[in-house]
């Protein structure tokens, strides 16, 4: 399994708005080959820190996703988000290969 985290901080007053955006997300990624699951995680200590976690069957499945037209479409939507403060947030991306279970 291959796991990708995208962690970002949002203004505390916009946390619920961002959570709502992810609760109604397009789900294009869900139909992509090798996709296993999606979670939005909220840090218990720093509630304005959110992490998108996507689990993939393989690293190659993830690489196929990030080079796809569907990936570009999803991220273009984010860039055009009406709230420019949220649209300008850059996540810290971390990638993990599961080596033991």
Does this model's pTM top 0.85? My answer is: yes
**What does the pLDDT profile of the chain (101 residues) look like in tens digits?**
999 999 999 999 999 999 998 998 889 899 999 999 999 999 999 999 999 999 999 999 999 999 999 888 877 766 556 666 776 788 999 999 999 99
| Structural domain count of the chain | 1
| Domain membership of residue 63 as a residue range | 2-97
| Closest to 15 measured CA to CA, from 95, 77, 85 | 85
| CATH number of the domain to which 64 belongs | 3.30.70.100
27 Rama sector, left if φ>0, alpha if ψ -120 to 50, beta otherwise: left
């Amino acid at each position: 399994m291959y796991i990708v985290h995208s962690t970002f901080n949002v203004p505390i007053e916009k946390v619920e708005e961002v959570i709502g955006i992810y609760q109604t997300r397009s789900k294009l990624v869900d139909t992509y080959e090798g996709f296993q699951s999606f979670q939005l995680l909220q840090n218990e200590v720093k509630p304005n820190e959110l992490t998108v976690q996507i689990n993939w069957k393989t690293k190659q499945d993830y690489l196929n996703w990030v080079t796809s037209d569907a990936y570009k479409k999803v991220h273009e939507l984010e860039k055009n988000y009406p709230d420019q403060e949220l649209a300008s947030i850059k996540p810290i991306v971390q990638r993990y290969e599961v080596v033991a279970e």
